[in-house]
Structures are given as structure tokens and as C-alpha cells.
């Protein structure tokens, strides 16, 4: 089960995609993602969940470009 700040982080990803169409992976550790936690994705999720989120972002980026 996700904590409130993790849900907020995921919502920030979705909003970013809506506005920009793609999300560069390095941005997950930069503002606005660091507004929730100073370390962005790395401060909110364990390694397994980070990998899962990164795969989803990569897939979404591939779909947006391809």
C-alpha cells in the first residue's frame, strides 16, 4: 500500500506527462519531484518500486515518441 507522499509523487508524474508528454528519468530527482522528498524518487520508494516506476516511465516515453 502506498503512503500519501508516494501517491502525491505518482500524481506529479501523471501531471508532468499530461503537460509535457514525456519525462526524462533524471527529472525524478529534481523539482517538482523533490518538493515531496529532497531525494525525489530515491527518498520515497525502495529499489524494487523505483525500478518499477522507471520501467513505467520508460514505456510511457516510448509510447509518446513512437
Place of cell 508532468: 16
* pTM of the predicted structure, to 2 decimals: 0.93
Q: Is the pLDDT score of 57 beyond 90?
A: yes
Q: Which residues contact 5 (CB under 8 A, 6 or more apart)?
A: 36, 37, 44
Q: Which residues contact 58 (CB under 8 A, 6 or more apart)?
A: 25
Among the residues of 1-66, which ranges form H helices? 4-20, 41-44, 47-65
Give the range of the structural domain holding residue 57, as residue numbers without chain letter.
4-65
Spatial distance between the Cα atoms of 18 and 39, rounded to a whole number of angstroms: 23
The mean per-residue pLDDT over the stretch 8-35 comes to: 97
Q: Can you give the pLDDT at residue 65?
A: 83
Report the number of distinct structural domains present in the chain: 1
Q: What is the mean pLDDT of the chain?
A: 97
Name the grid cell of 1.
Answer: 500500500
Amino acid at each position: 500500500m502506498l503512503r500519501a507522499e508516494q501517491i502525491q509523487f505518482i500524481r506529479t508524474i501523471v501531471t508532468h506527462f499530461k503537460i509535457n508528454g514525456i519525462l526524462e528519468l533524471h527529472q525524478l530527482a529534481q523539482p517538482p519531484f523533490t518538493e515531496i522528498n529532497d531525494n525525489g524518487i530515491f527518498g520515497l520508494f525502495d529499489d524494487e518500486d523505483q525500478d518499477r516506476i522507471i520501467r513505467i516511465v520508460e514505456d510511457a516515453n516510448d509510447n509518446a515518441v513512437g
